[in-house]
Amino acid sequence: MVIYPMREHDYVLVGDVNGQEIKSMFKNLKGGTAAGVDGIPIMLFKNFLSILMPIIVLLCNKVLKSGQWPSAWKTVIIVYTTF
């Protein structure tokens, strides 16, 4: 996938998402962060990425091509902590 900047905050995606991009994205995620609304911890994805990669690539490309985002992908859990 290639991302071309159009304006300051607008981008155009050209091409499909590939495994290397997914691998790079997961590599940059912190492992100790809390699970999302699906309850799946990031470390599970990181540890089984080679097995999950084809599914993740397929899912990402289907979502990007259809323009229909799963509602869970639009949900955020905010955890407030005090130190």
pLDDT, one tens digit per residue, over 6-34 is 565 556 667 888 999 899 888 888 777 67
Q: Strand (E) positions, the chain?
A: 2-5, 11-14
CA 61 distance to own-chain centroid: 11
Contact of 12 with 6, CB cutoff 8 Å: yes
Q: Map out the domains of the chain as residue ranges.
A: 2-74
The CA distance from 53 to 60, in Å, is 11
pLDDT: which is higher, 37 or 19? 19
pLDDT: which is higher, 82 or 45? 45
Contact of 67 with 26, CB cutoff 8 Å: no
Per-residue pLDDT at 1 exceeds 70: no
The set of residues, in sequence order, having a beta carbon less than 8 Å from that of 24 and lying 6+ positions away, is none
* Model confidence, pTM: 0.68
For the chain, how far is it from start to end, CA to CA, in angstroms?
A: 41
